[in-house]
Amino acid sequence: MSGSYRDLKAWQYAIELVTQIYVSTSGFPNSELYGLTSQLRRASVSVASNIAEGKGRASDKELVHFLHQARGSLFEVETQLTIAYRLQYLTSKQADDLTAQAGQLARILNGLITALKESNKKLEEVKARIA
């Protein structure tokens, strides 16, 4: 897959999610600075970072591995958003909006993973026919 990680819609959505997470967690209690605030921020940053790191690797197979890592971090974010809402650190609207953003990003990641796996499978089939 050619192009920069910045060209990936998944990375662009991940950066937007990170930005919104930082804005939303700025209102969390100070007692959560090293707890849920930090966890949410680090997990959301991890999503975007894994997408970028995977894109910088040598193969689509490695990219898929890092996209799976990004998806795992995204599930962490979704879980932590639920906790933040239940602790009343987020309003219902904030939680719904952030969860919807995360859901959209998950769908994009799933689509990208599926497309790359199918492309790799077809490439392997062609290689097998040639050999």
Express each pLDDT in 73-113 by its tens digit.
999 999 999 999 999 999 999 999 999 999 999 999 999 99
Give me the sign of the Cα torsion angle 94, 76, 35, 21: negative
In the chain, where are the structural domains located?
Answer: 5-130
pLDDT at site 124: 75
> What's the whole-model pTM score?
0.90
Q: pLDDT tens, 35-75? A: 999 999 999 999 999 999 999 998 999 999 999 999 999 99
pLDDT at site 35: 96
Give the architecture (CATH level 2) of 5-130: Up-down Bundle (1.20)
